[in-house]
Amino acid sequence: MCKKISILVGFLFLNVVMYSQNATEIIKNANDKERGTTNKAEMTMTIQRPTWSRTVKFKSWGKGREYSMTIITYPAKEKGQTFLKRKNELWNWNPTISRMIKLPPSMMSQGWMGSDYTNDDILKESSIVVDYNHKIIGNEAVSGYDCYKIEMIPKEEAIVVWGKVIKWISKTDFLQLKSVYYDEDGYIVKTEIGKDVKKIGGRLLPTKIEIIPEDESGNKTIVILNSAEFDIPIEETFFSQQNMKKVH
C-alpha cells in the first residue's frame, strides 16, 4: 500500500513539473516566434483619446534580450528621436535638443510617446521567459483559436513592471492573442488583443495589437506591424550611442 502511495505521489509530482515546464516552453516558443535571434520591424502606432488622436511611425531592431533600438520616423517634429537598450543600460537620444538621456528603471512603466504602450514594451527590458514563473491555468478560445491560458508571476529577484500577467497563446502556431496585465495589488492595468493574423517576415503573427487601459474609458493604442524580418545579421556594435545619432 505504501509503495502504491509513493508511486502515486511521485507520478503527481512529475506531472506537475512537466506541466510547469510545458507552460514555460509555450511562452518561450511564442516569444521566439515574435523576436527570433534578431529582428527588424517597421510599425505604425495610433494613440486614441476621447477628444483627439495622433499617429507615430517607427523602426525597431533587436538582438536577443540584451539589445534593442527604436527610432521615430514620423511625425516630423519627433523624427530621429531614438531609444536604445544595451545590456542593462537604457538611453534616449533627442536630436532636436542634441541631448542623450539615460533612462532609470523607474521609467519602464511610463507610457511610451504618450501612448498606452510602456517603455518596457518598446525596450524589452523585462523578459517574459526569464523574469516570470509560468503556469497553465486553463484553456479558452480567443478569436476562434484554441488557446492555452498561462499565468505569469514575477520571480522574486526580477525587476519587472507587472505584478502578474495572464496570456492566451494559441495551441497551434504559438500566437500571442491576448494578454492581461495586473499591478502589484492584483488590479488589471491594461489588456492587449492580437488581431489580423497574417504571414509576415515568413512567420504567421498578429499584425495588429490593441492596447486598452482598464481605468481610462475611451483610451486605446493600436500598433500595426507593417513589415518584419527575422534572424538577419545584426552586430552588437549596431546598438551603440554613436549609432543612435545616425541610424535611419
96 burial level (CB within 10 Å; 0-12, 13-18, 19+): exposed
In this prediction, residue 2 carries a pLDDT of: 45
Beta bridge partners of 88: none
Is a pLDDT exceeding 90 seen at residue 159? Answer: no
Among candidates 225, 174, 168, which has minimal Cα distance to 191?
168
R_g of the chain, CA atoms, integer Å = 20
Q: Quote the CA–CA distance of 66 and 190 in Å, as a whole number.
A: 26
* Sheet strands (E) in 155-202: 164-170, 176-182, 188-200
Average pLDDT taken over every residue of the chain: 90
> pLDDT tens digits for 216-242?
999 999 999 999 999 999 999 999 999
The percent of residues above 90 in pLDDT, for the chain, comes to 77
Ordered by where they begin, the domains of the chain are 21-244 (2.50.20.10)
Among candidates 73, 87, 37, 66, which has minimal Cα distance to 234?
37
Among candidates 191, 195, 72, 159, which has minimal Cα distance to 122?
72
Residue with cell 534580450: 65
CA dihedral 91, 43, 246, 106 (to 10 degrees): -10
Q: Which helix (H) or strand (E) holds 220?
A: strand 220-230
118-153 in b/e form (b: 16+ CB < 10 A) is: bbbbbbbbbbbbebbebbbeeeeebbebebbbbbbe
The percent of residues above 70 in pLDDT, for the chain, comes to 91
Rounded alpha-carbon distances, angstroms, from residue 213 to 9, 38, 174, 226: 44, 30, 25, 24
In this prediction, residue 125 carries a pLDDT of: 67
Mean pLDDT throughout 49-61? 97
State whether the Cα torsion 8-10-16-18 is positive or negative. negative
